[in-house]
Amino acid sequence: MKIQCRFCNQKFKTDDQVVLNEINTILHLDCPDPSNFKYIDEGSFQEIILRNPYFGDFVTKQ
Ligand SMILES: [Zn+2]
């Protein structure tokens, strides 16, 4: 499972600053976000995936 930013199409690096929105989409903090979903978490990409069990599969494959 690859996670990439749907707005700039770049793969996330562990120290990228990102936000997680309420539909479990991760995007860069700096990327323009045309959707109006609420942000439920914010931090480095690594912090976000470690904090959110939803992304567990991704973590174990790294
Ligand atoms: Zn991006």
Q: What is the pLDDT of residue 9?
A: 93
Distance CA 22, CA 60 (A): 23
Measured in angstroms, how far is the CA atom of residue 10 from the centroid of ligand 1?
6
The pTM of the full predicted model, rounded to 2 decimals, is: 0.80
The per-residue pLDDT for range 2-43, each reduced to its tens digit, is 689 989 999 999 999 999 999 989 999 999 988 889 999 999
Instruction: Dig out the tokens for 60 from the structure.
Output: 């174990």
Distance CA 4, CA 1 (A): 10
Measured in angstroms, how far is the CA atom of residue 6 from the centroid of ligand 1?
7
Measured in angstroms, how far is the CA atom of residue 9 from the centroid of ligand 1?
6
Measured in angstroms, how far is the CA atom of residue 5 from the centroid of ligand 1?
5
Q: What is the pLDDT of residue 14?
A: 93
Q: What is the pLDDT of residue 35?
A: 86
Q: What is the pLDDT of residue 53?
A: 79
- Is the confidence at residue 61, as pLDDT, over 70? no
